[in-house]
A = this chain, B = another copy of it.
C-alpha cells in the first residue's frame, strides 16, 4: 500500500485507484452492514457500485433532492423493493456515498516520506489532489454541491475535511517559510487562495476539456501559477 512515489503521471494513478474499487466498496458494505438486507458480499458490491454511479450521475445533473428513488430504480434497472434492501433510506444512501468517497480519499492522499523538500512536498500534494479529484470527479462535485443540504453533523464533517486540506497546505507553506524557501507572509491566507485552484479542476472541468487541457496539463500549469505567486510574494 503506497502512493506512487513522487508521480509517474496520471494514467498510472488512475489504474491503481480503479483496480482497488471493489475493496473500497467492500469497506463501505462493512461500515453500513446493518442497513443492508442483502447478505452475499459479491452481489452487494456489484449492485452498490451501480447504485453509487447512477446516484452521482443523476444528482450531479438535477440535485440529490430532486432525484426520486424511482428515477434511481429506473436508471439502475433495480426495482423499488430491491433497491430498498440495499439502501434502507434515501438519507442512508447519502451516508454510504459519502463514506465511499472518504474511504477512497483516506487511502490515497498521503505524502511519501521520501519527499523532504517543502517545495517538492507541496507539489506532490497539489498534484495528487488534482489526480484524485479527476478519478473521483463526480463524487467531489457531489460532495461540494450537496454539502449545504446535509444535516448538521454531516455538514460539519464535510467542512472539517475541507479545512484539513487547507491546514495541510498551510503547514507545508510554514515549513517552506521556516526553511526560507517561500517568502510568504500570511501562510493561512495563501493556503486559502490555493484551495480554490484545486477545486477548480473538479468544479469546472468541462471548461478545460473544451479547451483540450488534460489533467497533467492542468496540474503543471496550476503548480507553476502557485509557484510564481509564492516566489513573487517578496516583491510587494
Interface residues of A (CB under 8 A from B): 60-63, 65-66, 145, 148-149, 186, 188-190, 192-193, 195-197, 199-200, 203-204, 207-208, 211, 213, 221-222, 224-233, 235-236
Are the C-beta atoms of B231 and A227 separated by less than 8 Å? Answer: no
Q: How far is the CA of A149 from the CA of B221 in the complex (A)?
A: 31
Are the C-beta atoms of A193 and B197 separated by less than 8 Å? Answer: yes
The A interface, classified by DSSP as helix, strand, loop or mixed, is: helix
Q: How far is the CA of A149 from the CA of B79 in the complex (A)?
A: 26
Q: State which of B186, B208, B232 has its C-beta within 8 Å of the C-beta of A228.
A: B232
Q: A61-B148, A63-B63, A229-B232 are in contact. List 12 more A-B contacts (CB 8 A).
A: A60-B148, A189-B221, A192-B204, A192-B208, A193-B200, A193-B225, A225-B229, A225-B233, A227-B236, A228-B231, A231-B232, A231-B235
Q: State which of B60, B197, B211, B230 has its C-beta within 8 Å of the C-beta of A196.
A: B197
**9 sampled A-B residue pairs with Cβ under 8 A:** A60-B148, A66-B149, A188-B211, A193-B197, A196-B199, A224-B233, A228-B232, A229-B229, A231-B235
Closest approach, in angstroms, between the C-beta of A8 and any C-beta of chain B? 22
Q: Chain B residues near A221: list those with CB within 8 A.
A: 186, 189, 193
Closest approach, in angstroms, between the C-beta of A221 and any C-beta of chain B? 6
Are the C-beta atoms of B229 and A235 separated by less than 8 Å? Answer: no
Q: How far is the CA of A61 from the CA of B26 in the complex (A)?
A: 34
Q: How far is the CA of A233 from the CA of B231 in the complex (A)?
A: 9
With A66-B65, A66-B149, A228-B236 known as contacts, the answer to whether A193 contacts B211 (CB < 8 A) is no
Closest approach, in angstroms, between the C-beta of A235 and any C-beta of chain B? 6
| Max chain B C-beta neighbours (<10 A), residue from A66, A196, A199, A222 | A196
Q: How far is the CA of A211 from the CA of B187 in the complex (A)?
A: 13
